[in-house]
Structure 1
Amino acid sequence: MNDALPTLLFPFERSLLETPRAGERVIFFGASAGLQLPPDFAADIQVVQGFRPDYLGLERAGFSVAPQAEGEGYDAALLLLGRHRRENEQRLAEALRRVRPHGLILAAGTKRDGAPGFTKRLSELVPLEDRLSKHHGIVFWLRRPARPDEAIFSGPARVTPEGYETAVGGFSDDGADPGSQLLADNLPSDISGSVADFAAGWGYLSLWLAKQPSIAAIDLYEAHHASLEAAKRNLATHAPETACDFFWHDLMSEPVARRYEAIVMNPPFHRSRAAEPDIGRALIGVAANTLAPGGRLFLVANRPLPYETAIASSFKHHGEICRDATYKVLWGRK
C-alpha cells in the first residue's frame, strides 16, 4: 500500500494542506512495513495495521501501531487505499468515527487498485474538499462533518449460508473457499489429539475439525487480525465446547512453541498480485518442525503450485489424497 504514499503526501509537499504539527494527533490507516514519513511530520502518529508482518515491521521501525483503531478526537486521519473496496469503506467509516469535528481526512490510492472509482462513489455520498491525480494515483480530502452519517459504509458483516462470519479484507471474505472445502471434504476421519490450523482465516477448517469428537484441541494461527477475530466469534458460536486457542501470528517470522499431532492448512500464495509459491514452501517447513513425531500435515493448493518437492524433503511419507480441476490435496507424515 505504500505505493500510494507519494500521492498521499503530495498536498502537503505543495502546501495545499498544512503538515501535521507537534502536539496534534493523527491516525494512519493502511500503512505497511517500510513506511517513511517526511521529517516535518511532527504530529503524534498512531498507525492502524492488522496484518501481522506489516505490524511487526512498523513496530520495529519505531511507530506506535495497533491492529485496530482505538481512541477518538484525532486531529486528522490518513488513509492508504488498497484493492479491497469494503476494507477501504470500513477504514473511511473508522476515520469518520475517530477524527474530531472538522478534522482532516485525507486518502490516496493507485489507479490500478480502483482509487478513481472509490473517489467518485464517495463524492456522491459526502462533499469532498478537493481531489487530485498524481503519481499514477488519486488523492482526495474532506473535513469530518460535525455529525457524520456513520452508516455510509457500515454494512453488516458477510455471513455464509452456514451462518459463519467472514472478515472484511481477509482471505475468502465472500464465503468458503473452494480449496478449503475440498480439503475439509477429504480429511481422514482418524485425525485426533491436538491439531493446528495454519493460515486459519475466519476458521472454516477449524469449524470442520471441531465436529470431530477425537480432536482434543484446536489452535488457530492467522496473520490477518480481523479474520482471527471473526474466527473467535465463529468458534464461540458454532463450537462452544471445543477447546481453542487463537494466535495472531506471522508463521514466516515468529516461532511456534507448541507441538501437534496434525496440522491442516490452505497456505496463502499471494502478498502482491503475483503468485509466490515460496510462501507455501516455507509454511510446509514450519509445519514439519511443529509436528510431533508421527504427526501429519494436510494441505490444499492450486494444482500448478510445486509443493510436492517441499513435502518430500520434509516428511518421511507423503502423497496426494485427491485433486479436481483447480486444486489438489496433499499429505505428509513425519
Structure 2
Amino acid sequence: MNDTPLPTLLFPFERGLVEPPSGQDRVLFIGAPGSLRLPEDFAGRLSMVQGFRPDYLALERAGFAVTPEATGENYDMTLVLCGRHRRENEARLAEALKRTKAGGLIVAATAKKDGGGSLRKRVEELLGIEDHASKHHGVVFWLRRPVAPDAAVLASLGDFNGEADGFATVAGGFSDDGIDAGSALLASCLPEDLSGKIADFAAGWGFLSVASAGRCPGIQSVDLYEAHHASLEAARRNMAAHAPQMPARFFWHDLLGEEVSERYDAILMNPPFHRSRAAEPDMGQQMIVSAARALKPRGKLFLVANRPLPYEEMLSKHFSAHGELLRDGTFKVLWARK
C-alpha cells in the first residue's frame, strides 16, 4: 500500500492548518498503512486500525498498537485514510463519526484518482466541513464531529447492506457485489469425488468453500485463508448460514508472507493479481508456490485465472502434472497434482 494518500493526510498538520495531537490526546487512525511514518511532533496516543494482514503485521513490527477493526470511543481525533473503494471509504467515515467525541476533529484524505473530490463534496453536503486542501495528487478535508450525528447521515454513509446473491459481503472486499464469475466457473468444474481435508486460499467471503461443501460430499473439512479481515468474518457468517454441517476453520493470513503449517488433500483458489491498478501476475505465482508447499503428496490444486495470466510455467515447475479443465472468453480453470 505504498500508493496511499498518506502525504495528503499529513499535509494540513505540516503546514499548520490543523494542530497535531498533543501527548494526552487519544487518536484513532482508520486505514493506517504498513509503511506509516509520522512527523516527530505527532505526539498523541495512537490506536491503529488495519484489516489487511500484511499492513497489520508491518504496523505491529513497527511497534504500533493495531487492531483489525475499530474499537473504543470518545477519541479526541480520528484520521481516516481512504482507498479505492467508495463504499469502504464511506463506511470508514461513518466509523469515525461513531467513535470520535463530540467536537473532536476528523481528518480524511483520498487520492484524486479514487474520487477524492467527490467524497469531499458528499461529506460537505451531509455534515459540513471546516476546510479542505489539495496536495500530492489527493484531497484532504477536516470537520468537527457533531454533538449528535444525524442517524440518517450515518445510515447514508454506511448504506452498504453487506449482502449480495444471498451471501454476506463487505465493502472493499473482493466481489462485494455478488458471486464472482471466475469463482462460479471454478466451482462448476470441481470433481464431485473431491474428498479429504480442503483449503480455500484467498477465500474472500467464502463462496468457493460454500460451493465445494455442497458439491463434494467427500470433503471432511475446509480451512479458509484470507488476508482481508472483514471478508474473512463474512466468510464465517456464510459458512454458518450455507454449509453449517461442514467443519471449517478461519485463518486471517498473508499467504505471500506467512507460512502455512497445515497440509491438505486439495486446495482451491481464485488468486488475487492486483496490489494497485496494474495486473501483477507474480502474486498468483507466489500463491501457487504456497499451495504446492501446503499440499500433501499427490494432493491437488484447482484454480481459476484470467486467460492471459502466465501461471502454467509455475505449475509445471512445482507440480508433477497439470492441465486445463475449461476456459471461456475470460477465464481458464487449471488443475495440478503434487
Q: Which residue of 2 aligns with 1:131?
A: 132
CA–CA separation in structure 1 for the residues paired with 2:126 and 2:304: 42
Q: Which residue of 2 aligns with 1:229?
A: 233
Instruction: Tell me, yes or no, if structure 1 residue 245 matches structure 2 residue 233.
Output: no
1:294 CA displacement: 1.0
Contact 2:78/2:105 (<8 A) preserved: yes
TM-score for both structures, normalised by structure 2: 0.97
Q: Deviations over 1:117-152 (max 9, x none)?
A: 111111111111111112221110110000012323
Q: Which residue of 2 aligns with 1:70?
A: 71
CA–CA separation in structure 2 for the residues paired with 1:231 and 1:288: 24
Q: Which residue of 2 aligns with 1:198?
A: 201
Q: Higher mean Cα deviation, 258-267 or 28-37?
A: 28-37
Number of residue equivalences: 333
In structure 1, give the amino acid aligned to 2:263.
R
Q: Which residue of 2 aligns with 1:309?
A: 313
Q: Which residue of 1 aligns with 2:269?
A: 265
CA–CA separation in structure 1 for the residues paired with 2:171 and 2:155: 16
> Unpaired segments of 5 or more residues in structure 1?
none
> Unpaired segments of 5 or more residues in structure 2?
none
TM-score for both structures, normalised by structure 1: 0.98
Q: Which residue of 2 aligns with 1:154?
A: 158
1:321 corresponds, among 310, 314, 325, to 325
Task: Indicate the SS of the match to 2:98.
Answer: helix
Q: Higher mean Cα deviation, 217-226 or 164-173?
A: 164-173
Q: Higher mean Cα deviation, 261-270 or 142-151?
A: 142-151
Q: Which residue of 2 aligns with 1:11?
A: 12
Q: Which residue of 2 aligns with 1:189?
A: 192
Q: Which residue of 1 aligns with 2:281?
A: 277
Q: Which residue of 2 aligns with 1:142?
A: 143
1:116 CA displacement: 0.4
1:237 CA displacement: 1.0
Instruction: Tell me, yes or no, if structure 1 residue 81 matches structure 2 residue 85.
Output: no
CA–CA separation in structure 1 for the residues paired with 2:120 and 2:22: 27
In structure 2, give the amino acid aligned to 1:63.
F
Q: Higher mean Cα deviation, 1-10 or 182-191?
A: 1-10
Q: Higher mean Cα deviation, 115-124 or 240-249?
A: 115-124
CA–CA separation in structure 2 for the residues paired with 1:189 and 1:172: 25
Task: Indicate the SS of the match to 1:282.
Answer: helix
After the TM superposition, list the runs of 4 or more consecutive aligned residues in structure 1 that deviate by more than 3 angstroms.
none
1:329 CA displacement: 0.4
Identity rate, percent? 61
1:156 CA displacement: 4.4
Instruction: Tell me, yes or no, if structure 1 residue 117 matches structure 2 residue 121.
Output: no
Q: Higher mean Cα deviation, 2-11 or 278-287?
A: 2-11
In structure 1, give the amino acid aligned to 2:315.
I
Contact 2:51/2:229 (<8 A) preserved: yes
In structure 1, give the amino acid aligned to 2:122.
R
Q: Deviations over 1:32-59 (max 9, x none)?
A: 1111000110101111000000101111
